[in-house]
Structure 1
Amino acid sequence: MKIKKNIFFGGLNELRAIAALSVILHHIELFKHRDQLGSLFDYKYTQYFIEHLGKNGVFLFFVLSGFLITYLLLSEKEKNRTVYLKKFYLRRIFRIWPLYYIIIFISFIIIPVLVFYSPLFSITPSYYRMIKDASNYDLKSFLLYFMFLPNFALKAGKVVVGATQSWSVGVEEQFYIVWPIIVSFFKRKTMLLIFLSILIVFAIINLQFSNSLIGKIVTIIPFEFMAIGALGGYFYFKKADKFTQYTKSNTLYIIVLMLIAILISVPVFKLYIQNIILGFVFLLLILITINSSNKVVLRSRSFSFLGTISYGIYMYHPLIMFLIFPVFYKLLTFYNNIFVFNIGVLMFIPGITILVSYGSYRYIEKKFINIKDSKFKTL
């Protein structure tokens, strides 16, 4: 197979943007629900949608990561006859670690100091209780977050305001440790068997042994969604032309969007089974989206821009919520108008998050991305 010098899949940034914005909406409504401010959680017809919207956005990220990393690793192995593990890990470090540790510093140091010195933040009860709980900031909690194990920290009940969203980044980093080793040391048929085995074994454990020790561990590291993406990346690498032929159908794209709309809005199957089905539908969406022959898929400069800074959007938005909600609590008390309150938080939290994320990307993250691309590129 002939490997292109530069691999770029159009449309993926748009999907990243949608996933990140979905997480923001979920967290805003979750916060309002906790503080009893009239949330979409509280309405029968929106409860399922909003309750699972955040994780569905993360599952889209996971499937996309599984697809893209697998395809890129296979391309690297085809071109160079090996996977340069050191360069792979350094690329991930330069892209992920700087922003991650900025968030950890803000969450463990800046936010508690602000709460200690300013009475303003005491008027948001759900955040205030979590921050005042010293057990969330003990040595165990710090080490788990610091060592890229925030998913294990959350399982242990360590809820650190501003950093809880990093659980999925921890899962991604754990995935990045394992996947290049699989692709590097195993032949294609063997690695395909491994991807299938991970998906099947994780699914069986979740469905039959969820209360066991292994079941609890498996729920912390949901690699089955990466495995779904990896299967897509594997077969797309082998049969890109056939996938391009079959995914250019506008009808198929509409059907996939309708399936996603149903699966994220209403419970049809047992939750875990529905999530797995949704994972495969997300994979179909990805395969259709990257097909430049399909003229109806989402292509938007605005969404592409948001996708470029989506890591920042995902990581900074809890901090912005922490800062913005007390201000609008004050306004709500003053004006006693829940409509103005809702419009305000739905405009200002995403808006300020995007501005902060852009500044972070341009003045901080981009410096490390340039090092990553100039020193550790393999394709």
Structure 2
Amino acid sequence: MSKSHIYGLDSLRAIAALIVVLSHIELVKESNKITNCFSLMPSGHTGVILFFVISGFLITSLLLQEQIVNKSISIKKFYLRRILRIWPLYYLVLFISVILFNYKPEVNTVVLCLTILPNIAHVLNCGWAVNPPVWSIGVEEQFYLIWPSLIKFAKSKILLILILIVIGYTILPHILLFIIKRTNFANSNVPNFINLFFASAKFNCMALGGILAYLIHYNSKVLIVIRNKYLSKIFILIPFILWGFNFEFYYFTD
């Protein structure tokens, strides 16, 4: 895979950002009881999911490229790059949010946000609203904790692991809820915890991007099918049809 910039991803990012912005406009209209003559974009989670898929694609691509060029992956350098790229801005946003909105967070929220676990604060419902959108940073950072090691040591099994992550994180919560609802924990907070955790842990979405990166990197024969001029049109059309029918899989939303 070339190191050259993939310009098409810029367009995808722009589309994802636009979907999220339009969705939040609708939320503001609803909260302020503004007449909604035309709903611009009701499903902002589509944009969020797209961001996670792109992130998984890029990180996997970079790690696979490094493995080919350097014959190995420097996990220490990977973490250092991620820290320098994300942490300064992350903590700055938290600081400005607290000052700007005069927010007095609970101790649990402070600890979880300072340790880059804002999504866990959301799951535990312990007053995480210092800056709600930062939950996605927590998800990405937790993905980065395991991902370079998996790419480095799993090697030939990485595609299988990616597929299992997608299936596991999508199916496992349904299995757990099915079991728990038939136990003494049915009326506890456990079902809600599972729902929130898996709905916010977007490893399945990021792994989906990783699968595409793997297929492209190793020039898989699957790409021949995907690139077929007739089948590619069908693959593009299917998501729009499902979207039009308001179809969604709960654990692929936010």
Counterpart-to-counterpart distance in 1, 2:32 and 2:123 = 23
Question: Identity of counterpart residues, as a percentage?
Answer: 37
User: How far did 1:13 drift?
Assistant: 0.9
Written as runs of structure 1 = structure 2, the 5 A alignment for 1:76-91 is 76-91=66-81
Instruction: Give the counterpart letter for 1:239 in structure 2.
Output: N
User: How far did 1:264 drift?
Assistant: 3.1
Contact 1:205 1:215 in 2 (8 A): no
Written as runs of structure 1 = structure 2, the 5 A alignment for 1:139-150 is 139-150=107-118
Q: Which residue of 1 aligns with 2:250?
A: 272
Query: Unpaired segments of 5 or more residues in structure 2?
Result: 178-190
Provide closer, same or farther for how the CA distance between residues 193 and 215 of structure 1 changes in structure 2, counting only shifts above 3 A.
farther
Matched, 1:59 2:49: yes
Q: Which residue of 1 aligns with 2:88?
A: 98
Q: Which residue of 2 aligns with 1:170?
A: 138
Give a deviation string over 1:94-118, Cα, whole Å, max 9, x none: 2212221121011112221xxxxxx
Instruction: Give the counterpart letter for 2:237 in structure 1.
Output: M
Counterpart-to-counterpart distance in 2, 1:245 and 1:257 = 13
Q: Which residue of 1 aligns with 2:124?
A: 156
TM-score by length of 1: 0.57
More helix by share: 1
Contact 2:165 2:204 in 1 (8 A): yes
Instruction: Give the counterpart letter for 1:36 in structure 2.
Output: K
Counterpart-to-counterpart distance in 1, 2:225 and 2:17 = 30
Q: Which residue of 2 aligns with 1:362?
A: none
Give a deviation string over 1:121-163, Cα, whole Å, max 9, x none: xxxxxxxxxx5xx5xx1121122222211111222332425x2
Instruction: Give the counterpart letter for 1:199 in structure 2.
Output: V
Q: Which residue of 1 aligns with 2:238?
A: 259
Q: Which residue of 2 aligns with 1:201?
A: 168
Contact 1:209 1:215 in 2 (8 A): no
Contact 2:215 2:222 in 1 (8 A): no
Q: Secondary structure of 2:113's partner?
A: helix
User: How far did 1:214 drift?
Assistant: 5.3
Counterpart-to-counterpart distance in 1, 2:100 and 2:217 = 45
Provide closer, same or farther for how the CA distance between residues 242 and 192 of structure 1 changes in structure 2, counting only shifts above 3 A.
closer
Counterpart-to-counterpart distance in 2, 1:186 and 1:94 = 26
Q: Which residue of 1 aligns with 2:22?
A: 25
Contact 1:196 1:227 in 2 (8 A): yes
Counterpart-to-counterpart distance in 2, 1:245 and 1:217 = 35
TM-score by length of 2: 0.82
Counterpart-to-counterpart distance in 2, 1:50 and 1:206 = 28
Q: Which residue of 1 aligns with 2:199?
A: 219
Query: Unpaired segments of 5 or more residues in structure 1?
Result: 113-130, 277-379
Written as runs of structure 1 = structure 2, the 5 A alignment for 1:1-379 is 4=2, 6-39=3-36, 46=39, 50-52=41-43, 54-112=44-102, 137-157=105-125, 158-160=127-129, 163-188=131-156, 190-210=157-177, 211=191, 216-239=196-219, 243=223, 246-247=226-227, 249=229, 254-268=233-247, 271-272=249-250, 275=252
Q: Secondary structure of 1:8's partner?
A: coil
Counterpart-to-counterpart distance in 2, 1:242 and 1:78 = 21
Give a deviation string over 1:188-239, Cα, whole Å, max 9, x none: 2x22221122112112223332427656533331211111111111111111
Provide closer, same or farther for how the CA distance between residues 182 and 215 of structure 1 changes in structure 2, counting only shifts above 3 A.
farther
Count of residues paired in the alignment: 239
Q: Which residue of 1 aligns with 2:188?
A: none
